[in-house]
Amino acid sequence: MKKSFMVLLLSAVLPYVFVSESVAVDFKIKGIWINTFEYGSGGNFTGRGRSQGGEKGKETYGWGLYGQDEFEAKSRVRVQLDAAVSERLSGTVYFEMGATTWGQDRTGGALGTDGTMVKIKQAYLDWSLPNTDVRTRMGLQRIYLPDFVTDASQVFDADTAGIVLSGKYNDALAFSAFWARPYNDNWEGTNSSQANYLDNFDLWGLVVPVSLDGFKVTPWAMLGMAGTHTFRSGDDFYGRNASGSGGLGMAPAVYALKNSKVGRGTGKDYSMAFWGGITGEITAWDPFRFAWSANYGGIDTGQSALNRSGWYASALAEYAFAWGIPGVYGWYSSGDDGNVKNGSERMPSIEANNESTSSVAGFGTLGTYSLGRDALLGSTLVGTWGVGARIKDVSVIENLKHTFHVNFYNGTNSPSMAKYIKGARAPWGYTMFAPDTGGASADFNTANYYGLYLTRQDYAAEFGIRTQYQIYENLRFLVESNYVALWLDQSSSVWGGYLAPTGQWVGSNSIKDAWNVNVSFIYRF
């Protein structure tokens, strides 16, 4: 009886909730389901090795990355709900469930499957300024910087809180300006009176796309202001705060020099950061396409050892045939000079590639198109140079496409930095894969933002194949296969074993090639 009464009540009330005489709300829903099954092997990815010491020649190693097994099955669901009253006013909520690892309790995949895994990925309001075509988006949203070469920014691409204004001056000239607040009120403080003090991080950006016939160019600039406690955890500067990865992409190479006095804080209340870049493409000679990108960024903390600045440039040339699109590309990024007292010479980044996928990589950087593993060499190309070739969208059978790529990497960082990072030279920093002292922060990399720190004497090559078959209009079958070969210098002057100041022999890191295959079923509606 109660159930019948509630149904009648809702039937009577809901029309008045959503519809009035003057306003009708148009609801639209879309989403994506992904189920991924992957298997991989290799000491530096699915079983990343780290030296634990021991007698020379009898070293033992720690294994595992993010607690992953060689075989994993994962699921993720994203659902977006748009509520629009007109083209000039709407609201969006974007839900995410997962990624859920099958059988894992903390991600909701264990027996019973009733984990609390529903998250708000985005939630924003879209509206136009009255009597103008300027669009305003405010709330939790994706904010990113452009790149016509990799399709994924090497500086900033993430879901974050902020406001974006965008519009067009004419068909050739547009603009997008934003204010974002990635972090605030996360520092726990060293005592109750200091908690949440000077821990905000704000960004202001301007992007100006220019589109002409057969030619596009987009200059952009971004300013940042980070409080002295923004990325701190207790007494550690650039530590891991309640926000997660914190400032890993902005930290110096030895990651705060924990045992040095400069690891206690910046010299300024607010560190100032600046990034600038230009990217573009030429399609006037279609089917030939040429694209380029150049970025510079730096952060001034008031402590020279904690400063960071550098640059990155890339180029791509490709030609579209009826059967596929072959292309070649290359990049170069500045690297550390070996002097830890003057900070880092690598370009800082903020959650780069987070919401987009690099079109020139597989799992060397963030390049998988599913829930598969990636970022073996780092989430960005910062601190490396390289060349690559690909053949994209090869198709001889209807609804079936293949993409092949091969990349060669070499680090641009000084080999002498390895001694600081692995702890062989004071001020001792961190090992190649995790802090040498272990502890709570040992589950994430600190030298290269979730990847390997490549010096000028370290090399890698990546080979990848991506195959996709359109089973139905909305259902895609995807197979990604990648292999990364590593040639890392194992001499005692770089990553090899060394005699610690305590007199204990510390063995070299375990170096193995890595490969990974993932099979995914992707449903979009």
> Tens digits of per-residue pLDDT, 136-158?
999 999 999 999 999 889 999 98
What residue has token string 């089917």?
287
Measured distance CA(312)–CA(296) in Å, rounded: 6
**pLDDT value, residue 217:** 98
**Residue 7 identity:** V
Greatest pairwise CA separation for the chain in angstroms: 83
Does residue 458 register a pLDDT over 60? yes
Q: Work out the pLDDT band at 430, boundaries 50, 70, 90.
A: very low
Distance (Å, rounded) from C-alpha 480 to C-alpha 341? 42
Q: Backbone phi, then psi, for 106, in 5-degree steps?
A: -70, -15
- 2-524 CATH: 2.40.160.100
Tell me the mean pLDDT in the region 459-469: 94
- DSSP assignment of 316-367, as one string? EEEE--SS-EEEEEEEEE----S-GGG-B-SPP-BSTTSSS--TT-STTTT-
CA distances from residue 55 to 134, 431, 498, 503 in whole angstroms, order as listed: 67, 18, 11, 11
| Cα–Cα distance list, 266 to 197, 249, 301 (Å) | 14, 17, 5
* Lookup result for tokens 């600039």: 221
Q: Pick left, alpha or beta for residue 399 (phi over 0 → left; psi -120 to 50 → alpha; otherwise beta).
A: left
**What pLDDT is stored for residue 234 in this prediction?**
62
Q: Which long-range contacts (CB under 8 A, 24 or more apart) does 396-402 make?
A: 396/323, 399/469, 399/470, 399/471, 400/467, 400/468, 400/469, 400/470, 401/467, 401/468, 401/469, 402/465, 402/466, 402/467
**Which of 63-67, 118-122, 326-330, 393-397 is the least confident region?**
63-67
Confidence of residue 34 (pLDDT cuts 50, 70, 90): very high
Query: Is residue 168 over pLDDT 50?
Result: yes
The answer, yes or no, to whether residue 439 has pLDDT greater than 60, is: no
For position 255, what pLDDT does the model report?
47
**Token pair in block for residue 53:** 């010491």
How confident is the model at residue 261, as a pLDDT?
A: 47
Question: Helix, strand, or coil here: 484?
Answer: strand
**Is residue 352 packed enough to be buried (19+ CB in 10 Å), middle (13-18) or exposed (0-12)?**
buried
Summary mean pLDDT of the chain: 80
Q: What is the 3-state secondary structure (H, E, C) of 501-514?
A: CCCCEECCCCCCCE
Stated as kind and residue range, the H or E segment containing 3 is helix 2-18
> Which of residues 186 and 28 earns the better pLDDT score?
28
Q: Where are the domains of the chain?
A: 2-524
pLDDT band at 508; cut points 50, 70, 90: low
Compute the distance between CA of residue 154 and CA of residue 151 in angstroms, rounded to an integer.
10
Structure tokens at 49: 């090795």
512, 43 Cβ separation under 8 angstroms? yes
The tokens of 97 are what?
């469930």
How many Cα neighbours within 13 Å face the side chain of 207? Answer: 20
pLDDT value, residue 264? 55
pLDDT at position 3 over 50? no
Output the DSSP codes for 234-281: TTBTT---TTSSTTGGGS-TTTT-TTSGGGG--SSSEEEEEEEEEEEE
Q: What is the mean pLDDT of residues 215-226?
A: 97
pLDDT at 203: 97
Tens of pLDDT, residue by residue over 174-217, are: 999 999 999 898 877 776 557 888 889 999 999 999 999 999 99
Instruction: Kindly report which listed range (117-121, 374-378, 394-398, 445-449) carries the lowest average pLDDT score.
Output: 445-449
Q: At 441, phi and psi to the nearest 5? A: -90, 10
**Whole-number Å distance between alpha carbons of 303 and 404:** 45
Residue 436 CB contacts under 8 Å (≥ 6 apart), including other chains: 422, 423, 428, 429, 430
End-to-end CA gap in the chain: 38
- Percent pLDDT > 90 in the chain is 48
For the ranges 38-42, 318-322, 438-442, the lowest mean pLDDT is seen at 438-442
Over residues 76-91, mean pLDDT: 95
Q: Residues 246-289: pLDDT tens digits?
A: 566 777 655 434 444 444 567 788 999 999 999 999 999 999 99
Most confident of 147-161, 286-300, 350-364: 286-300
pLDDT at 514 over 50: yes
